[in-house]
Structure 1
């Protein structure tokens, strides 16, 4: 069972509530969305593993069994070209769940007209295997967000 921690603090939502059709339809993978709390936040690794991909707006952590979790900070934030984000970790770093990865400012993202909703999804996993009990609740950084059996 893969235990996925919340990379940011906020209010959890269903993936279908992400204002992006690719995420909302579950095409990227199953998981949970988070509307972040106000104020600058530091996104943390949701699982232990290697930072396989790291961009200012998104990162993927792959564990020893090959499970990959994508954290996407906001919607269409790739177009911000790193503004409002600060990388703390480096691609290919080994991280433990809860290690700091990216500092970002959701209010800045919102001022650019983009949604701050974050996707936390497991890549290449059957959607029916995700425990959705964390949907519709306030979560703190590093709190258990969901479990998945891929």
Structure 2
């Protein structure tokens, strides 16, 4: 397992939102881990959601996915309560077990469907079980970032490395 620092990229173009402003207590209180959230910026309703890191897909649901790379695990949740859409508005391009490269399109999301149902489009990008002092923030709340732009770095010291997906299940 690699303990080399990892860089996390924005999965789409958007405005950075502090996790404390995500309208879901699990994410707002960093229960699963720290991170940043993005509000999609798009001229159309279609958003191609990309892999924030390279690694193995450990979960691939229409509204959320997670990727593990060595001792690191990242979770991307597309909107809040969008699980209730039961896949409507989402096209998933990968399956659990697939290897993906940072920047690969994993999901195509029609945000208009979520908007029509009144769901928040804020998307948490969570570093599963990370300790906040092991994360370097590259962007701040209110920044607008491009797809694939690096938004944070994460380093797991050798003595604290764990298999994150095995110890705390992420809410998908």
Normalising by the smaller structure, the TM-score range is: over 0.9
Larger radius of gyration: 2
- Poorly superposed stretches of 4+, deviation over 3 Å: none
Query: Is 1:108 aligned to residue 123 of structure 2?
Result: no
If the length of structure 2 is used for normalisation, what is the TM-score?
A: 0.83
CA RMSD of aligned residues (A): 1.0
Deviation at 1:90, TM superposition (A): 1.8
- Residue of structure 2 in register with 1:87 after alignment: 92
**8 Å Cα contact 2:138/2:150 also seen in 1:** no
1:87-136, CA deviations, whole angstroms, 9 ceiling, x for partnerless residues?
Answer: 11122110000011000012221111100000101101112322233122
**8 Å Cα contact 2:138/2:153 also seen in 1:** no
Q: Which of residues 130, 133, 141 in structure 2 aligns to 1:125?
A: 130
Structure 1 gap ranges (5+) = none
Whole-angstrom distance in 2 between the partners of 1:108 and 1:86: 12
Whole-angstrom distance in 2 between the partners of 1:107 and 1:28: 28
- Residue of structure 1 in register with 2:9 after alignment: 5
- Residue of structure 1 in register with 2:145 after alignment: 139
- Residue of structure 1 in register with 2:53 after alignment: 47
Structure 2 gap ranges (5+) = 157-172
If the length of structure 1 is used for normalisation, what is the TM-score?
A: 0.95
Q: Which of residues 39, 45, 67 in structure 2 aligns to 1:61?
A: 67
- Residue of structure 1 in register with 2:167 after alignment: none
